[in-house]
Amino acid sequence: MTTTEPVQDWATDYDIFDPGYVRNPYPVAEQLRGTCPIAHTERWGGSWMPTRYDDVVAIAHEYETFTSQQILVTPLPPQMQEGAYGGVAAPPITSDPPDHHWQRRLILPTFSPQSVAKYEPGTRELCHRLIDGFIATGRADAATDYAQQIPVRVIAAMLGVPLEMSDEFTSWVRGVLEVGLTDPVVRMESRNKIIGFFASEIADRQAHPRENDLITELLGAQFEGQPVPVTYVMGVCNLMLVAGIDTTWSSIGSALWHLAQHPDHRAQLSANTDLWPTAIEELLRAYSPVTMARIVAHDTEFQGCPMHTGDRVLMSFPLANRDPSVFENPDEVILDREHNRHVAFGAGIHRCAGSNLARLELRIALRTWMERIPEFELEEPSSVTWAGGQVRGPRVCTVRFPKG
Amino acid sequence: MRIRIDADRCQGHQMCAVVAPELFGSDDFGNATILIEGAVPPELEAKARRGAGTCPEQAVIIED
Ligand code: HEM
Ligand code: SF4
């Protein structure tokens, strides 16, 4: 399942894995918005791709037509859909109403701003420890030495699973969300590793319930007077690992990549720390990492496009967030942008449940970096590499700075 | 000026609270709450408008 023919016409044959597009998708989107705002391709299983904010948000809201039966940007080949863990989904992200409602409501309190605040001191300590590891050398890969190391440990702590397995967790998640998008064998293997791991964690909690433990609490949760199914708990654990790591790491990495190239923005943030909350929202807007998919439930015409049952529609929040009809000077990062209704965390009923945690991690990771390393620059801009597709962010981003 | 949240629209993005923490808070599920009683103090009116303009669900309702 590889297509490497160069794209001739982006409106009818786009390729979200085209290396140039992965590096910088925004010029293509700008051109499409003016000519063919909902593009189509037969590549990678076929899909539609709206590029305007209003269309992306409308699709997110019309959940009866655009369902979450599949949410990855490429399909698995039909013979691979049912593996050992075929019945385990990733609720609530893979659910539609009515089940979506209780499946989401059950986990929301875990992620409220009040609840996630307790992860702040541990996250800060972790960031300092990571910086201690490289500050004396005057150089670091902001993507892999720093950004990548943070969210995986926060989620592992939240789930009560071994922090020493962080590198394995990261590689499983990349197996699903990066490599696995174009390599179904890797995707299934990674998925099976994740579910197999949580099956044994869950068995352990059933035999030995723990105090103050999320998995134990989920196992004891009830819906309409009945204990929730174990497959639900397994699905939620699966989702927390997959949704919380690549995404947040990509955001932290993109923000550092931006700051490395913008001494003016570093100076503004150092001089006025009150700018941070809006600055973080603006960096989330400008470098939104996540694209999701929907499956069309019944034949429909959307903005003049004939969509058929089973068609895949991409919701590219990165492109929506650069729409000039909603954001003035969308390609410019304006740290105190006045009205920033970005949809980096999606829109409608599936709005990222982890958004308050993600914001906290971004704030701590970026502020701690800037306190310790206020001056830094890209070592070699052309050596920066990007991942794209489902989650966009830098994967190698070497920076240098005065030795500390 | 008065503000309220349209609970049918609010999806808990918490972006209102990011730009105007004096006015907007969060319930146990992360949905927005209003932290003031009665009218918005004049010095916070601009922030209230910013909160409304920042909500991606257009759930912050301003009544002048
Ligand atoms: C910057 C980091 C992040 C970004 C940009 C992001 C983005 C998104 C987006 C766009 C959605 C909507 C999916 C859809 O409409 O189908 C989503 C859903 C979700 N995210 Fe995140 N996410 C981030 C971090 C996190 C973290 C740290 C967690 C914590 C475990 C998390 C957990 C979830 C969950 C549970 C859902 C499903 C909500 C539902 O379907 O009701 N995310 N995320
Ligand atoms: S920004 Fe809008 S959707 Fe989000 S919490 Fe505030 S009112 Fe609700």
Domains by residue range for chain B, with CATH: 2-63 (3.30.70.20)
The per-residue DSSP string of A123-170 comes to HHHHHHHHHHHHGGGTEEEIIIIIITHHHHHHHHHHHT--GGGHHHHH
Measured distance CA(A74)–CA(A16) in Å, rounded? 10
Task: Write down the pLDDT at residue A144.
Answer: 97
- Please state at what angle helix A355-372 crosses helix A246-261, rounded to 10 degrees: 40
Tokens of A135: 């500050």
Q: What is the three-class DSSP state of A192?
A: helix
Q: Chain-centre distance of CA A1, in angstroms?
A: 24
B29 touches chain A (CB under 8 A): yes
A102 to chain B: nearest residue by CA? B29
pTM across the whole model:
0.96
So what's the pLDDT on residue A203? 97
Beta carbons of A66 and A26 less than 8 angstroms apart:
no
Chain A, 108 to 127: residues with Cβ < 8 Å from chain B are 108-109, 111-114
Q: Is A55 on the interface with B (CB under 8 A)?
A: no
Nearest to A361 by CA among A255, A265, A235, A285: A255
Cis peptide before A113 (omega within 30 of 0): no
CB A44 within 8 A of CB A1: yes
Taking residue B52's Cβ as centre, other Cβ atoms within 10 Å add up to 19
Pocket test for ligand 2, best of B18, B23, B24 (most atoms within 8 A of CB): B24
Question: DSSP for A320-338?
Answer: HTT-TTTSSSTTS--TT-S
A315 C-alpha to ligand 1 centroid (Å): 13
Q: Supply the ipTM of this predicted assembly.
A: 0.95
Closest residue by CA, ligand 1 atom 21: A352
pLDDT tens sequence across B1-35: 999 999 999 999 999 999 999 999 999 999 999 99
pLDDT block averages, 10 residues each, chain A of length 404: 77 96 97 96 96 98 96 84 70 95 96 96 98 98 98 97 97 94 92 94 97 96 94 95 95 98 98 97 98 98 97 98 98 96 98 98 98 98 96 98 93
Minimal Cβ distance to B56: which of A105, A114, A342: A342
Best residue among A150, A155, A355, A366 to mutate for probing ligand 1's pocket (most ligand atoms within 8 Å of CB) is A355
Whether ligand 2 lies within 6 angstroms of the CB of B26 is answered as: no
Closest by Cβ to B13, choosing from A57, A277, A345: A345
What CATH number should be reported for the domain whose range is A10-400? Answer: 1.10.630.10
Structural domain boundaries in chain A: 10-400
Query: What is the number of the ligand closest to the CA of B10?
Result: 2
CB of B49 closer than 6 angstroms to any ligand 2 atom: no
**What is d(CA A17, CA A23) in angstroms, rounded to the nearest whole number?**
10
Q: Please, are residues A71 and A294 in contact by the beta-carbon 8 Å criterion?
A: yes
φ, ψ dihedrals at A139, nearest 5°: -160, 150
The single-letter DSSP state of residue B40 is P
